[in-house]
Amino acid sequence: MTTNDPIVSEVRAVRDKHAAQFGYNLKEIFRDIKKKQKSSGRKYVQYPSRPAVVTAITTSDE
pLDDT in tens, the chain (62 residues): 567 899 999 999 999 999 999 999 999 999 999 999 999 999 888 899 989 888 888 777 65
Report how far apart, in Å, the C-alpha atoms of 34 and of each of 8, 9, 22, 41, 42 are: 23, 24, 14, 12, 12
The answer to whether the Cα torsion of 47, 42, 31, 16 is positive or negative is positive
**DSSP 8-state code for residue 22:** T
Task: Give the SS3 label for residue 13.
Answer: helix
**Which pLDDT belongs to residue 48?**
92
The C-alpha atoms of residue 7 and residue 13 are separated, in whole angstroms, by 10
